[in-house]
Amino acid sequence: MFIIAGNLSVLAVQERTDQPKSTQKVSNDEIVDKLKRATPEMLDAIAGGDKAVWERYLA
């Protein structure tokens, strides 16, 4: 579980830092919503062995 939480934290940080600070308009609510959508999708991908989901979120 710690690995997944760590990876999701990286996802949230990447979401906030991919853009220059002047154009960052991502609210905390938007990040929470994205993590709520990504988490079950990533967990389902583990059971099914679908690496593409993880690659999409962590690339």
- Residue-wise pLDDT for 10-48, tens only, equals 565 555 555 555 556 778 999 999 999 999 999 999 988
- What CA–CA distance (Å, rounded) separates 46 from 24? 31
Q: Could you give the number of structural domains in the chain?
A: 1
List the domain range (segments joined by +) for residue 29. 2-17+25-58
| Res 1 pLDDT > 60 | no
The angle that helices 2-17 and 28-48 make with each other, rounded to 10 degrees, is 140
What is the per-residue pLDDT for 11? 60
Global pTM reads 0.53
What confidence tens digit (pLDDT) does each residue in 41-58 have?
Answer: 999 999 889 999 999 988
